[in-house]
Amino acid sequence: MGPEQHDRDQRAGPAPEPFDAFYLREYPAVVGLLQGLLRSRLVAEELAQESFLVAYREWSRVSGLDNPRAWVRKVAMNQRGSFLRAYLRQQARERASVVEYEDDTIKLADDHAEVWQAIRTLPPSQAQVIALHYYEDYSITQIAAALGRAPGTIKAQLHHGRRRLARVLGAGPDRGWPA
């Protein structure tokens, strides 16, 4: 076997694609796939980054596969499954801790229980503003500073929260609530 034959044997297949070219081409599609499945761009980007990190660490092997595109998508689906399992475990732990420590919670006076139940039905931003304003007696300025929002936003959330509470509680002028 001469030197020419040896050189041809080493060049038998095409040269593997560089990882950076693969990453730049495939990353947006993997993020889009994950975002479609998870409905969260932030989580999709995080899981895609983790998937490509695995591909990068194993690129010498992965680049030689028949279909590195399919391989990285399989890793992404595995990352998604791991994320969802962890998320569900966390949700279960949180539910268990609420039930487990329910007796340790502060009991509200019965005359306030209906109001607090109604506040919990509000969107979180409105519930926060209502609770800080009425329970903590915070001013609009103090609430804005505490939540990092503009005072005008706080006023609007307070207004909309009051209106929703009035509807939920069936309150109006006859119960001392503004109409």
| Residue 154 amino acid letter | I
Reference 75, options 88, 56, 98; nearest CA is: 56
Tokens of 108: 């509200």
Give the other-Cβ count within 10 Å of 76's Cβ.
Answer: 25
* pLDDT per residue as tens, the chain (179 positions): 555 554 444 445 577 899 999 999 999 999 999 888 888 899 999 999 999 999 999 999 999 999 999 999 999 999 998 998 998 888 887 777 665 545 555 555 555 677 878 888 888 888 888 888 887 788 999 888 888 889 999 999 999 999 998 888 886 554 455 54
For every residue of 87-108, which 3-state class applies, written as one string? HHHHHHHHHHHHHHCHHHCCCC
75/11 Cα distance (integer angstroms): 30
Collapsing DSSP states into helix, strand and coil, what is residue 95?
helix
